[in-house]
Amino acid sequence: MNLSWRHALSVWRRNATMYRRTWRWNILPNFFEPVLYLVSLGVGLGAYITTMGGTSYIEFLAPGLVCVAAMNGASFEVTYNVYVRMNIEKAYDAMLTTPIQPVDVVAGELLWAMTRSCMYGLCFALVVAAAGLAPLPQALWVLAVIPLTGLLFSAIGLAFTLRIGTMELYSFYFTLFLTPLFLFSSVFFPLEERLSASWLWVAECLPLLHPVRLARAAFSGQPSTTLVWDVAYILGLSGALVAYATRLMQRKLTQ
């Protein structure tokens, strides 16, 4: 079935209409969160760490935390919010009485989740830049990493949402999936350096590791061929999951 971008955009606009009513209150915490992290971990914990990967600890933290913000922004949207729209508000059933097709719903929701993800990520990046932790201009590359992170975690979360039958399972998604990713994806310490060579592949499996590596390369201005693999991983996994989510959405909305 062919995607209609204009119909997908109308789905996006529905969510934007709802968000516009509350954005002032929604967006504020996005600024507080990075300040808290950077002060506690960067300034507080960082005082006990002389260098990390050749930089100060706070400089090491900053790019990874930008990715975490983008990951969280996307994840909240495609988990609880999509679940409510689909199963409680039945918004998609109403959409399917118009020319909108399930594939448009998937595209619209992904676009919206990526939008939210970019808002989170950008707010974080702004604070980081204001704190003088983003060396310009090379750190601007992170502007490309944020939407990639958003795409990846929108796709993962949406597939999960379409797969589960009850909202209770989200506690597993958050505590057993997103939290470990947050803790182990080289945000706080270089995971690869703590793993023996035979276990390095485990690190490569972690979805968050790839955006973090891209963001860190952007901040340090040191590109490498590994980054091609990181981008390929993000696009490949996202593409596969979007295709899977589209099939699930099709099956769920039309019988």
Partner 1 sequence: MIVHLSGVTKRFGERVAVDDLTLNVPAGVCFGLLGPNGAGKTTTLRMIYGVTLPTSGEVRVFGMDAARHVRAVRRRLGVTLQQNVLIETISPRANLTVFGRYHLMDGADLARRVEQLLDFLELRSHADVPVNKLSGGYQRRLAVALSLMNRPELLILDEPTTGLDPAVRLALWSRVRELRRGGTTVLLTTHYMDEAQRLCDVVAIMSAGDVIAQGAPEALIERYLARETVELDATPEEEHALLRGLEESPPRYRAGNRTMLYTDEAGPLLERIRKRPEFDDRAMVARPTNLEDVFLALTGTRLEDDP
Q: Minimum Å distance from CB 90 to partner 1?
A: 5
> Is there binding between residue 239 and partner 1 (CB under 8 A)?
no
Altogether, the residues listed in the chain come to a count of 255
Q: Minimum Å distance from CB 88 to partner 1?
A: 10
> Is there binding between residue 21 and partner 1 (CB under 8 A)?
yes
Count of residues in contact with partner 1, rule CB under 8 A: 25
> Is there binding between residue 3 and partner 1 (CB under 8 A)?
no
> Is there binding between residue 24 and partner 1 (CB under 8 A)?
no
How far is 218 from 203, CA to CA, in rounded Å? Answer: 20
> Is there binding between residue 14 and partner 1 (CB under 8 A)?
yes
Phi then psi for 209, rounded to 5 degrees? -55, -35
**Could you tell me the CA-to-CA distances from 151 to 141, 195, 197 in Å, in that order?**
16, 28, 30
> Is there binding between residue 250 and partner 1 (CB under 8 A)?
no
Handedness of CA 172, 173, 179, 185 (dihedral sign): positive
Phi then psi for 158, rounded to 5 degrees? -65, -45
Binding mask 73-102 for partner 1 (x = CB under 8 A): ----------------xxx-xxxxxxxxx-
Angle between helices 209-220 and 142-163 (to 10 degrees): 170
Residue number with CB closer to partner 1 (171 or 255)? 255
User: Which positions from 97 through 156 interact with partner 1, judged by CB under 8 A?
Assistant: 97-101
Phi then psi for 206, rounded to 5 degrees? -70, 120
Query: Interface residues with partner 1 (CB under 8 A)?
Result: 4, 6-7, 10-11, 13-14, 17-18, 21, 89-91, 93-101, 253-255
